[in-house]
Each structure stands twice: as C-alpha cells, then as structure tokens.
Chain A
Amino acid sequence: MLNLLRWLVFVVAVLAMNFPVIVTVITSFKSARELSFNPGFWIGEPTLENYTRVLGETDRFNIYGYLFNSTVASLIGTGLAIALAFPAAYAIARSEAGKRTLLPLIINLRAVPLIIFAIPLYMMYQWLGLLDTQLGLGLILTIVNTPLALVILVNAISDVPSELDEAAKMDGASSWQVMLMIIRPVVRPALVTTFIFGFITAWNEFLFGLMLTTSRAVPMTVGASFFFAASGGGVQWGTASAVMALGALPPALLGLLMYRQISASLTAGAVKG
C-alpha cells in the first residue's frame, strides 16, 4: 500500500517537473491546423511537418547555425576549462600551492552572479573584436565551467594514492610527465564527467549569449527566443515547439545517458566541500 503511494508520488513528481518539456514535445508533433483548435495533451494526427519545416527551410530558420554555434562555443568553453583546471587541480592536490586561498576563491566564484562582470566584459569584447564570435562566447563559458571542473578534478586526483606518483618519480619521471602519463589516465572517468557536465552547462547558458552575440554567433538558447519575438503575426507554436525540442535535446540526451556520473558532480562542490 505504502509502496503504491510511493509510485504515485514518483509519477506525479516526474510529470509535474517535466511538464513544460512534455507539452513542448507533444505540441511539436501537431500540425498548424490541429493546433488552432486543440491545445490539449492528445494528438489527433501526429505529424513531422514542424521538424521538416524547421530543418528544411534553411533560408527562413537558422537552426543549423544556432546548433553549430552552441556546439563550437560549448566545446571551447569545456575544453579550455579542463585544460586550465587539470594542471591546477594536480598542483592543488599534490602540493601546498593554491590550497588555502585559490581553491576556495574559485569555488566561491560559482556563487557570484556573473552579470556583475557582464558590462565590462561587453566593453572589453568590443575593444578586442570578440563580440558576436564563437570564440568570445567560448571564453566566457570557460569561466562558467572552471569552478566545478576544478572541484571535480581536485577531488578525483586527491583520491589517487600518491604512491603512484612517487613510484614514477623514482623511475625518473618529471612531475609534468607524472601528471600527463600517470594521473591523466587514472582520472579519465572524472575528466569525461567534467566534460559532459561542462558541455551541458555551457549549452544551457543564456545571459552571455544574449549579451555578447547578435547574429553570427547566436547560440541555441538565444536563437530559440527569436521564434517568439520575430514574427509579427503571432507565434507559430508548432515550429517554435520543434525548435525548443531540438535545442533541449542534446543536453537532455547527455544527461540521461550520464545521470549517475552527473548526480555525483552536481553535488561535488556542495557535499564534499
């Protein structure tokens, strides 16, 4: 009996929390005609026409551009964050450097509202010619990703027994070699998790995409909002839904595939310190 109640609570919670996604996916399979009289949960005649329009009419919808921009910027933002955080995490885990001040400072960065840096960054980007470029967006996403990448990697490297390092050093390896050839393969799962989680975070970022891009480098989150603002004759709900579903799909898929690892990294900074 109690178990039945648990299932009920579970189902209600899942439906309520995923409600907007469910509605969007349903709507994306309705024809424009059906949408005009049926906003309900059932689909009379499921159709792919919204997807074929969004993906096919490239002169009207710049969906490939948005997807491409999001992918490139997210890859830069995640790859660079790991490239910067990995050596730093190694130093923090294996030496006294950075442990006392740098690590807490960067962890706290996670909680600082990044909008406070946004205005000077906008001006800086103007001077550097980085406005509306994928590189510029990627560099900011690096900052967004750095705190969590550092926490996850410091934890992972600290868990590796230091006897491994010592043995390699005895054999004459430099600490640089130890880091790349001994530690890196051992913490590979943590690196993969960091990458996936960073990619999701970067993909979902909105504020900097909104501020720092206008046309050439617009990411998916911002591009999707154009479908609501642009057309004067009201929103085309079918195509808008298809766009939202496509934009939410990559992070959702990654998340579903990796939910075990991600749940650990989501809580990394919070529970472990």
Chain B
Amino acid sequence: MAIVNRAEGRAYLTPLVGFLLFFLGFPAAVNLIYSISTVSFETLRSPSLSGFGNYAAVLADREFWGAVSFSMRFGVLTALAECLIGLFLAVFLTPLLAKRSYLMAPLMLPLMVAPAMIGLMYRLVLHEFAGPVPYYLFEWFGDSPAFLDVDNAFRTLLVVEILQWTPFAFLLFYMAYVSIPLEVREAASLDGASALKALWWIELPLMLPTLVIAFFIRFIDGFRVFDNVYALTGSGAGGSTTSLSIYIYQAFFKGGAIGKAVAASVVLFLASLVVLYGLNWITGRGRR
C-alpha cells in the first residue's frame, strides 16, 4: 500500500513540475514558434509566422553541417578514448586502489574543476611563450607544433577533453568492477581461467551495461561540448572548432540570426531525443 496517497503525491510534485514547466516548457514553446517565424531583436514580441524558412536556411548552411560534423566526431572519439583508458585504469589499478581509497581523490580532481577553467588553463599551458609544453618541446626537439591552429586544434581539443573526463568513465568502471561478486572470480579461477581469460569472458560481459551507459553519457557530453572549447579556442582556428552548441550561441549573439539559431536548437533537441530514446532502449534491455 502506498504510504502517500495519490492526491498528496501530486501536491508534493507540483512545485517541481511548475518550476520546470515555467523555465523549460515556456522556452520550448517559444523555440517552436520562433523557429517558424521571421524575427529579429527589434521584433522579439511580434514575430510573424513565416513557415519553415529558418529550418531550410539552417539545413542549407555549410557551417551548420560543419558544426554537426565537429560535434559527432568529437563526441564519438572522446567517448571511445575515455572509455578505453578508463576501463584500463579501472582494471589495472583496482588492486592498488581497493586498499587505499584515498588515492581516488587525485584521480577525481579533474572532475571538480570547471571545464571552462580547464580551457583557460590550457591557454597558458600551450602558449608559445609562457606555456611549459612549447617551452620544453623547443628545448628538447627544437620545434613545437602550433597546437591551436587549423590543423591541430581539433586534436588538441580531443586531448584536453579526454584528460578531463576519463576519470568519469574510470569511476563508473571501477564501481562496476569492484561490485562483481567474489564468488564469480573464485569460480573462474577454480576452473583454471587465467586472469586475462576471466577478464574477457566473465568480467567484461558483466560490466557491459556499464560500458554502454558510460559511452553514451560521454558521447552526449562530448557532442554538446561548449565550455572548454569556447574558453580555449573561442571556436577559432578558422571555424574548425565550432561545435553545435557554439554554432547556436554564435548565430544568436554574434550573427543576430535568431530564427536560424532557434531552428538549430530544435534540430539539436530532436537529435538528442533520438539518442536518449536509444540509450533508454539499450539500458532497459540490459537490465531486464
């Protein structure tokens, strides 16, 4: 029997639902209306409906597809690398960490620092005169790549993102790994399985749901990346580092192309619904 009856339950939910409807529902509706309107900063209160021209303009914009491509590649590559490195660290370091949990603290520290702040810090780290990385590269090899130019910016940003967020994947895998029941491991070693075989045939399959979830979480976060990229390159390097989030931000603030920015928002929203639906489907199955 439910301890809180239905009417009371609804009453407890009302403040939260009301808040979200006001701060998210209303903007969502505004998005939909503006996306099919002709609107500028002067006509914010009186947009005139004009059909799907904004969507057409966005979908015909090469910069939009450049941003989509950036976000896709960035999301997939960082999620893959973070999961692989995180998995390796979790499996390899567990004997070390299991007895000394305080060692987790420095591993988790990157997760506590603002991504925007990390982006700014890398401006220092990679600066050609003030940064230690170019300094030592010049000392040792006599040359240092321009980390943030058109050719290298994407790779640099990948490394920056991966170094900050691998701890997240590591943490998920570590938790999953140490929660594998001891009996499972004992049974495997009694049957003569080597550590590597047990990992491949028993432990990894048991961790598979976590692997999938971690990949999706990191993919979504990578796909919508804004903070560190904006702080580090400001989408610069010839527009080669414009993520979808940055595209929307710039279309609105710098270009004043409100209709386009809003239409891109709706497209992004629909895309994220598809990804979320996929994620829920997979995790729902994994649990059944």
Contacts and interface: CB of A to CB of B under 8 A. Distances in A.
Interface stretch (A11-19, A47-55, A60-68, A184-192): A11-19
B184 interface: no
B2 A96 contact: yes
Interface in B156-200: 163-164, 166-168, 171-172, 175-176
Given A21-B113, A251-B114, A267-B172, A95 B248 contact: no
Contacts of A213: none
Interface in B83-120: 89, 92-93, 95-96, 101, 103-118, 120
A204 B124 contact: no
A179 B248 CA distance: 43
Contacts of B89: 9, 13
B217 interface: yes
Contact of B245 (A102, A113, A203, A266): A113
A95 B8 contact: yes
B76 interface: no
A38 B12 CA distance: 60
B16 A84 contact: yes
Contacts of B276: 108, 111-112
A248 interface: yes
A9 B2 contact: no
A21 B114 CA distance: 11
Contacts of A19: 125, 163
Q: Is the interface of B mostly helix, strand, loop or mixed?
A: helix
B138 to A, nearest CB: 10
Contacts of A225: 116, 120, 231
Nearest to B162: A17
Given A17-B163, A39-B135, A271 B23 contact: no
Contacts of B104: 259-260, 263
Contact of A115 (B13, B24, B111, B248): B248
B12 A255 contact: no
Interface string B4-28: 1110111111011101100110111
A23 B125 contact: yes
A272 B155 CA distance: 34
A24 interface: yes
A111 B110 contact: no
B28 A204 contact: no
Categorize the interface residue count of chain A: 35 or more
Interface in A1-48: 3, 6-7, 9-10, 13-14, 16-21, 23-24, 27, 35, 39-41
A230 interface: no
B20 A247 contact: no
Interface in B225-264: 226-227, 230-231, 244-245, 248-249, 252-253, 258, 261-262
Contact of B220 (A111, A120, A248, A271): A111
A17 B13 contact: no
Nearest to A13: B89
A17 B110 contact: yes
Contacts of A175: 3-5, 8
Contacts of A181: none
Interface in A102-160: 102, 104, 106, 108-109, 111-113, 115-124, 126, 139-140, 142-143, 146, 150
Nearest to A39: B135
Given A124-B30, A255-B109, A267-B171, A119 B125 contact: no
Contacts of B285: none
A270 B132 contact: no
A34 to B, nearest CB: 11
A83 B15 CA distance: 9
A91 B92 contact: no
Contact of A146 (B2, B16, B109, B227): B16
B59 interface: no
Contact of B20 (A118, A143, A240, A256): A143
19 contacts: A14-B107, A40-B135, A41-B132, A87-B13, A90-B12, A91-B8, A94-B2, A94-B3, A115-B224, A115-B248, A115-B249, A120-B28, A121-B27, A221-B116, A221-B227, A224-B117, A228-B120, A244-B124, A256-B109
Q: Which 8 pairs between the two chains have the least Cβ-Cβ distance?
A: A97-B9, A255-B112, A204-B114, A120-B27, A95-B9, A20-B121, A113-B224, A206-B116
